[in-house]
Structure 1
Amino acid sequence: MLIELVKVARFPGTSWLADVRTSFGHTAVRWCGDRAAEPGEYHVEWTIDEDIVWGRNVKPAAGIGPGLRTGGHCVVLRGRLSLTEDGAALLDLDGTTILLDLADQLPEGVVGTWVELFIEREKIALYPYEL
C-alpha cells in the first residue's frame, strides 16, 4: 500500500512511530523502516501482532469503505473481512490484504462484511519496501 509518511518519532516508553496518511485516514503506528526516513510516499506492508477476537477487538463497522483513524490508545482499521480456503482471516484495506490471527472462529454471516478492528498502535507495524 502506498502511504504518505509525515514523520517518524519516538516518545519515552514507545517504539518508533510513524505518523502516516492515506486516502482514507490518518494515524500513528509502529515503524519498522529506517528511523531517519524522510517525509514522503512509501510502499508498506501492514502487520497486526494481536489475536483477533470477535466482539473484543473487532466488530461490525458503522459504515462502509476503508477507514483509518486513531481511537484513544488504539488504531481503528475499517475494511472488508474474508477467509481463505484454509481458514485464515484477511482484512482488505483498500486493496491491501492484511493477515489476521484469529483466537476463535468468526460468527456466521460476518465474512464479506465491513468490520472495524481496534488494535493498540504498537501492535500494528508498517514495513516499507521498494518496488
Structure 2
Amino acid sequence: MRIEVSAVGTDDVVSFRCSAGDGAGVWKAAEPPVAGREYDVEVDVDDVRLRPGGVAGVRLDGTSVVLGGLWQVTEDGATYLDVAGTPVSVEVIDGGAAVSGEVVEVVADRTAVHLFPYTV
C-alpha cells in the first residue's frame, strides 16, 4: 500500500493518508518515518473480529482504525483483506466466519495495525 505519513506520534504510531482513506498504525522499521514523505508499506493487522458489510477503504474512528474490503481465502487457507486492491494481512481472533469474496470490515486499535515499509 502506498501511504503518505501525515503525523508521527509517540510509541512509533504514525497517522497516514492513502488512496483508500486515512489511517494509523505502528511503524515497524529501524529508520524512523518522516511526516510528509510517501512510503510503500505492507500492512498487517492482529487480533481483530470481522463484521459483515461496510465500505471498502480505510478510516479512523476515534482511537480505532476501520479497514473494509473483500475477505479472501487462499487455496492453502491463508486469509487476507483486499482493501481497494491492496492485500492486508489480518489475524482474526475467532478464526473468521466470513466467506471468501464477502465484503467485511475489521476494527482494530491503532497499535494492532503494523506498517512494514519496503522499497520497490
**Residue 30 of structure 1: aligned partner:** 26
TM alignment of 1:79-90, pairs within 5 A: 79-90=69-80
Partner in structure 2 of residue 91 of structure 1: 81
Give the structure with higher Rg (CA): 1
Shift of the 36–3 alpha-carbon distance from structure 1 to 2, 3 Å rule, reads closer
What percentage of residue pairs aligned between the two structures are identical? 34
Give 2:108's aligned residue: 119
2:2 matches 1:5: no
For the pair 1:130 / 2:112, whether they are aligned, the reply is no
Which AA in structure 1 matches 2:87? T
Match 1:47 to one of 44, 47, 50: 44
* 2:6–2:17 CA contact under 8 A, matched in 1: yes
Normalising by structure 2, we get a TM-score of 0.85
After superposition, the C-alpha distances for 1:1-33 in whole angstroms (9 at most, x for unaligned) are 1111112221xxxx2111100122112211123
User: What is the Cα-based RMSD across aligned positions, in Å?
Assistant: 1.9
CA gap 1:86/1:25 in 2 versus in 1, 3 angstroms: same
1:107 deviates by 3.5
SS in 2 for 1:122: helix
Which segments of 5 or more consecutive residues in structure 1 lack a partner in the other structure?
A: none
Would the alpha carbon gap of residues 36 and 67 (structure 1) be closer, same or farther in structure 2, given more than 3 Å must change?
A: closer
CA contact (8 A) 2:20 2:83 kept: no
Number of residues of Structure 1 aligned to a counterpart in Structure 2: 119
CA contact (8 A) 1:74 1:119 kept: yes
